[in-house]
Homo-oligomer: A and B are copies of this chain.
Amino acid sequence: MFKKQQLTKTECSQSMQAIKDALQVLSGKWKLPIILALSDGPLRFKELQRAVNNITPKILSKELKELELNEFVERTVHATSPVTVEYNLTPYSGTLEKLIAELQSWGLQHRQYIFSKSKMRKAVEA
């Protein structure tokens, strides 16, 4: 269905691994909202907290670390007193654009598809 040519076990598991990598990067409640919040410009920790539905600092911290590891977000410390920390998107985060667009358009059409199906069913029942 998806691949007409036969794949070796190794090729297949590599492909699965790549897909899992990609999903892991975006899945979870918070990563996309954080990225979106930062897409309008850099924010400080507390500002991010407020921007993203009052996420708990523990979780925000964890999410930001993951986003840093994946090089989507850059953390810069300003030696003011008290210290302030700014988070901003890296240029590399732009590589997500196509993927996100694809997710968005598929999700949209899928919602409409499922919706129209359930309407049909209701019409038949009536």
Contact = CB atoms under 8 A, between A and B. Distances in A.
A59 interface: no
A115 to B, nearest CB: 11
Q: Tell me if A's interface is mostly helix, strand, loop or mixed.
A: helix
B99 A21 contact: no
A38 B2 CA distance: 10
A61 interface: no
Interface residues of A, number: 50
A83 interface: no
The 9 closest A-B pairs by CB, nearest first: A18-B107, A22-B107, A21-B107, A1-B39, A22-B103, A18-B108, A102-B102, A27-B27, A2-B39
19 contacts: A1-B39, A1-B40, A1-B89, A1-B93, A2-B35, A14-B108, A15-B104, A17-B107, A18-B104, A19-B100, A19-B103, A20-B107, A21-B108, A23-B103, A25-B110, A27-B27, A95-B109, A98-B106, A99-B103
